[in-house]
Structure 1
Amino acid sequence: MVVWSDLTNDILKHITSFLAFPDHYRFGAVCENWRSVSKQRRYPPAPQLLWLVLKEEKETRKHKFYSLPDGKHYSIEIPELHGRYICGSSHGWLFAVDIKINGIFVNPFTREC
């Protein structure tokens, strides 16, 4: 019998490369080993379908997104975007500016700037 929590990190990383963003978080909820692989974020996520970017929630400081395929809202904490306005996106990267119009590109999946 296979013990799913004992899969190696290499196999788990390979599996996550096929997951859509919401499934990536569900994957991390399975067990501690899977969560640790999920948090590494050193791999690109699977191609995503269209998400709409909504405003930052003032209470939680999380950014809200709406997934057209799922018809669901997702709140995601992206500290690099706090206090910035998202102006556009391309190929998984978000472009945001602050009040002084200093721009930044952020990948919300890897947090790379």
Structure 2
Amino acid sequence: LEIPDLFSLGAVCRSWHLIYLEARRLPRCSPNQSPCLVYSSGDRDADTVTLHNMSTNKLYHVTLSEPAFRTRHVMGSSHGWLITADKRSNLILVNPATGAQMAMPPPETMNNVRLRYTEEGVLDGYDVLYISVLFGF
């Protein structure tokens, strides 16, 4: 099912809404789906994502669990998942169609990455340490 069809399915009746809830748990999205524009609208709560189907011009609103979507930056997407980052660069994978979220390991736990902070303790950047497999340095 395309994402808009999935949301429409849930609005038909109570029994179809139960099917919709079950379908949202499935991790797969069809590769042939029309793309949706994803954004946080100022007239909605900070934890609400708006999906704008460009082919039908319909809007769908999905409430996600914390952290609020509006506080994140979208870094990329693949197979229906958005890669989001907060102001400390903690990465969270978000599937707006299913509502699923998955936290990635924090940057400070990654090998070869050193975080730089200002004197006020604000994250300022990263140093990525390169280690050559061929030469050992």
TM-score interval (norm. to shorter) = 0.5 to 0.7
User: Is residue 72–residue 87 contact of structure 2 (8 Å, CA) maintained in 1?
Assistant: yes
Which has the higher Rg, Structure 1 or Structure 2?
Answer: 2
> 2:81 touches 2:96 (CA, 8 Å); kept in 1?
yes
How do 1:1-113 and structure 2 match up within 5 A?
A: 19-40=1-22, 41-43=24-26, 44-47=28-31, 48-57=33-42, 59-61=44-46, 62-80=48-66, 82=68, 83-110=71-98, 111-113=100-102
TM-score by length of 1: 0.68
Q: Which has the higher helix share?
A: 1
Larger relative strand fraction: 2
- 1:70-107 Cα distance to aligned partner (Å, 9 max, x none): 12333221225512222221111101011111111122
- Which one has more relative contact order, counting CA pairs under 8 Å at least 6 apart? 1
Q: Is contact 1:81–1:96 with CA below 8 Å preserved after alignment?
A: no
Runs of 4+ in 1 over 6 A off after TM superposition: none
AA aligned opposite 2:25: R
Q: Retained in 2: the 8 A contact 1:57–1:64? A: no
TM-align CA RMSD: 2.2
TM-score normalized by the length of structure 2: 0.58
CA deviation string 1:12-44 (max 9, x = no partner) = xxxxxxx21111121112221111121122333
Give yes or no for contact 2:72–2:86 (8 Å, CA) kept in 1.
yes
Runs (5+) with no aligned partner, structure 2: 103-137
Instruction: Give structure 1 stretches of 5+ with no counterpart.
Output: 1-18
Cα distance 1:65–1:26, how it changes in 2: closer, same or farther (>3 A)?
closer
**What is the distance in 2 between the residues matched to 1:56 and 1:80?**
17
